[in-house]
Amino acid sequence: MSYIENTGSWVAASIVLSSILISWTMNYTNPRIRVFGTCLAALGCFAVSYWFFSFVLGSGILENPKPNQTPMDSAKPLLLWVQALISLFSGIFLLVIARKQNENNKTLDLRIKNEPDRYGIISRLLHWTIAILFISLIPLGIFASMIPEDTPFRLSYYVVHKTIGVTLFILVLIRIVWNILSKRPELDSSLKVRDAKLAHRAHLTLYFTMLALPITGFMMTSYHGYGTYFYFWEFSPPVEESDVYIVWGLFHKYLLPYLIYVVLGAHILGALKHHFIDDDKNAIKRMVSSAKSIIFEISGCLFEISSCLLRYLVVYLRYLVVYLRYLVVY
């Protein structure tokens, strides 16, 4: 273990602290503080988009990336584009929600431990902090894997990625221990047995992948001869360099990410199904302050975002027509 001086260490620390702050303010007792937390979450989304449009696009990495190891690597620029646009629209979405939240003066009274019908403050803080960090890891990991070996800032990105990965691993372990100490809320009794089993299996798979991703990443880089970074410290590989890293890389870079995309999608769609189709009003309320208010917020948000996107689309088409005319004339 050795101490390191790297910008990535400070960036990783700021991302982790920001995630904790957002999670804490979003679940605070005072409704005004919760509005502030939603605005911070929106700011985080805009920060991801700004990073992509201001730095990634100007870095030249998308045009001249590290040589692809598999044909699947050629999809990485598109994935970054999609994630940047999702972050942008999510930020707009959260700002509209914050405006609607501002009309709500209801305080949020949460206990430390979980209750029979909803999660307590510890579970919520762990849940949202883990979610924010995990979402942050995706674009960082994709971009870091595209950076050529001789690029000056390559190390900084790997310091950030590995530090957040180790932090996420520790938080998931804490969440598992807390679930043992504080029993999770029961699913609605009206839920079908099949759906209850699917929800349980989805949670187990989600925890498995969140633990397996950092482990396989650690083993991949260790067998490849690279150390592990944790904020301001670097740990030497505990194993000798070997071609086994290819096998670990197959799981870390290709199999597990796609598995967790499917599981996360099933997790979100399942919660929405329980709320809207199965009429389980506590499905979403267990982890957010007010399920009912979110329904109205989403409907209003979709209308306002659609109107905003339509206006931007009209402006874009006008500029496109002018540009095409310019090409024809000259």
The string of DSSP letters for 45-114 reads HHHHHHIIIIIIHHHSTTTS-SPPSSGGGGGHHHHHHHHHHHHHHHHHHHHHHHHHHTT--------SS-
- Which residues lie closer than 8 Å to 329 by C-beta, 6 or more apart? none
Q: What pTM does this model have?
A: 0.76
d(CA 212, CA 208): 6
* Better-scored residue on pLDDT, 123 or 190: 123
> For the residues 258-271, what does the mean pLDDT come to?
70
The yes-or-no verdict on residue 308 having pLDDT over 60 is no
Spatial separation of the C-alpha atoms in residues 262 and 257, rounded to whole Å: 9
Q: Which residue has the tokens 């090409």?
A: 327
Band the pLDDT of 277: cuts 50, 70, 90.
low
- Confidence band (pLDDT; 50, 70, 90) for 300? very low
Give the separation between CA 292 and CA 285, rounded to whole angstroms: 8
Q: What is the pLDDT of residue 280?
A: 56
pLDDT for 16 beyond 90: yes
DSSP state of 1: -
Residue 325 binned pLDDT confidence (cut-offs 50, 70, 90): low
Q: What is the DSSP letter of 184?
A: P
Query: Is the Cα dihedral 9, 41, 22, 128 positive or negative?
Result: negative
Q: Is 80 exceeded by the pLDDT of residue 71?
A: no
Count up the domains in the chain and report the number.
Answer: 1
Top-confidence residue, 68 or 14 = 14
Mean pLDDT of 302-319: 47
* 113 φ/ψ angles, rounded to the nearest 5 degrees: -90, 165
Cα–Cα–Cα angle for 156, 129, 137, rounded to 5 degrees? 35
Cα gap 72→77, rounded to integer Å = 11
| Sequence-ordered list of residues with C-beta below 8 angstroms from that of 80, at least 6 positions apart, any chain | 52, 56, 62, 139, 142, 143
Q: Is the model's pLDDT at 293 over the cut of 60? A: no
pLDDT of 244 over the 90 cut? no
Q: Which domain holds residue 110?
A: 2-329
Rounded Cα distance, 307 and 301, in Å: 10
Residue 234's DSSP bridge partners are 2, 229
Average pLDDT over residues 164-192: 84
pLDDT at 33 over 90: no
Better-predicted residue by pLDDT, 202 or 121: 121
